Amino acid sequence: MATPVAVGLSTVRSPTQTGDILARLITMAFAGSILLVAALVVYELWIGSAPAREHLGWGFLVGSAWNPVTDEFGALPFIYGTVVTSVVALLISVPLGLGAAIFLSELAPAGVSSGLTFLVELLAAVPSVIYGMLALFTLVPLMRQYIGPALNATLGVVPVIGPLFHGRSFGVGYLTAGLILAIMTFPFIISVSRESLLAVPREQREASLALGATKWETTWKVVVPYAKLGILGSIFLGLARALGETMAVTMVIGNAPRIHASLLASGHTIAAVIAGEFTEASGKIYSAALIELGLVLFFLTIVINGFARLMIVATTRKGSKRS
């Protein structure tokens, strides 16, 4: 009887396997380029801000003085203005954007939803300088003559929130910048939230309606919770847009490097001061201080986006435990 001969497995890869490996390497390189670009941005900002870091140290982050003549620079007024205007924008745009998205995806007729969605997408494509011009000629006079004095006369006397609306309104300030940022982030929140709501399976709606729930109960208690991750993503996308906005904010915030409790007072943001003063920065420390502000804004964005990711993960785990 003949002894069987062991046949080894072939090590030659098929063309399909070779193509898969090549595609994987190419896409991996594309993904790695994101890390490379981020690292290059941090490196350039770090090198460019070296003179300011050596001259000012950690006091730059907590200092409030901004005097290019004496090389005194502090980032705190700009960090404060960036955070305040972004928070004001989200407090206004999130409820309005979510409500509009619910209407467009769940309650509006198909023709109305398509037409309004097209207009929302057009608003998202409008350049920021156009928003700034419109705000300068419409929103600023309204704030100076009507909205600001009304808020000061009504909410300004309330003990708890009174300091937020205290003082004379000149039209420009934190609140005006927050309002124009809310208008600019509004389309992004609507678009992403609407797509998230439309992605909810039809079976979820039908099951809720079959159990006797009304249309609104189905929307609010079934559809919105199912799409909460996409809605949270739209909110933080709007926040990222608000943090980095430059021209529109520069035109209506007043450009005063000081910290005020009142939302009616003038202020400044990181992006606005970089855009407004970088071309005029003549001294070495002055230019480096502006570059360091860009580094601060970069890390501030990373921290906020990281916090958003942690919120999404925590929300996902909480929902998984309930289910």
Question: What confidence tens digit (pLDDT) does each residue in 123-133 have?
Answer: 888 999 999 99
CA 70 to chain centre: 34
CB 290 within 8 A of CB 277: yes
Quote the percentage of the chain above a pLDDT of 90. Answer: 53
Domain boundaries, the chain: 50-322
Q: In the chain, at which residue ranges do the beta strands (DSSP E only) sit?
A: 66-67, 72-73
Calpha distance 89→143 (Å, rounded): 16
- The helix/strand/coil state of 246 is coil
For residue 16, pLDDT beyond 90: no
* Tokens, residue 277: 């003063």
Calpha distance 183→137 (Å, rounded): 15
List, for residues 270-303, the tens digit of each pLDDT value. 999 998 888 888 888 999 999 999 999 999 888 8
Angle between helices 284-322 and 76-102 (to 10 degrees): 40
Q: Which amino acid is at 293?
A: L
**In angstroms, what CA-CA distances link 279 with 48, 283, 292?**
15, 11, 15
The pLDDT mean for the chain works out to 87
Q: Region 136-140: what's the mean pLDDT?
A: 93
Question: Could you tell me the pLDDT band of residue 321, with boundaries at 50, 70 and 90?
Answer: low
The pLDDT of residue 99: 94
Q: Region 131-136: what's the mean pLDDT?
A: 92
The pLDDT of residue 150: 93
Q: Which residues touch 8 (CB under 8 Å, ≥6 apart)? A: none
In degrees, to the nearest 5, what angle opens at C-alpha 66 toward C-alphas 63 and 69?
130
The pLDDT of residue 301: 86
In this structure, the strands spanning 66-67 and 72-73 are antiparallel
Q: Which amino acid is at 164?
A: L
Question: Could you tell me the pLDDT band of residue 9, with boundaries at 50, 70 and 90?
Answer: very low
Q: Percent helix, strand and coil across the chain, each rounded to 5? A: 75, 0, 20
Question: Could you tell me the pLDDT band of residue 1, with boundaries at 50, 70 and 90?
Answer: very low
The pLDDT of residue 143: 94
The pLDDT of residue 11: 53
Q: Which residues touch 139 (CB under 8 Å, ≥6 apart)? A: 176, 179, 180, 252
Full-model pTM: 0.85
50-322 to CATH, choices 3.20.20.150, 1.10.3720.10, 3.40.50.720, 3.90.700.10: 1.10.3720.10
For residue 246, pLDDT beyond 90: no
Question: Could you tell me the pLDDT band of residue 323, with boundaries at 50, 70 and 90?
Answer: low
CB 233 within 8 A of CB 97: no
- Looking at per-residue confidence, does 75 or 312 come out higher? 75
Say which range, 99-103, 222-226, 278-282, has the weakest mean pLDDT: 278-282
For residue 136, pLDDT beyond 50: yes
b/e per residue 222-260 (b: at least 16 CB within 10 A): bbbebbeebbbbbbbbbbbbbbbbbbbbbbbbbbbbebb
List, for residues 169-218, the tens digit of each pLDDT value. 899 999 999 999 999 999 999 999 999 999 999 999 999 999 899 999 99
* Tokens, residue 258: 């000081």
**Residue 227 DSSP one-character state:** T
CA 247 to chain centre: 16
